[in-house]
Structure 1
Amino acid sequence: MNLSELKKGQAGRVLRIEAVPALRKRLIDMGVLAGEVIRVEGVAPFGDPMEVLVRNYRLSLRKHEVEGILVEEVQ
């Protein structure tokens, strides 16, 4: 599943990032790496942007950015 499918409060472990090279590099630079747990902290009314917690800091990501982040749900 991709990160955009998780609801507020749910977490997932990053499996891989499927995005254009520039966006992929930007996400990796921000700490979104394979194996990291990422938790959805909030979602705007229309689903864009999404606030996530990764490596103990918060990021606001646009919908097209989170759709390329593949995760497996964790408890």
Structure 2
Amino acid sequence: MKVIITEHARKRLRDLRQDRITIADIINAASGIPGRIPTATRFRGFLAKPGRVFDIVAKDIPGGRLVITIIGK
């Protein structure tokens, strides 16, 4: 499944709270969610390679899985 990351989510990666979370971490997290996501839903407890815990808000659209935002812990 194709993962699409919004410009808002990319911008949030530059914030201190999302430090050390990479695009690859987001793609792996979003790809690992099973099933279909018809409405924007928050998924908790993903782990970036450097050990940072984060949540993502995602939903499925006709073009793939849209990652709306990232929330670092």
Q: Do both share a fold (TM > 0.5)?
A: no
TM-score of Structure 1 vs Structure 2, range by shorter chain: 0.3 to 0.5
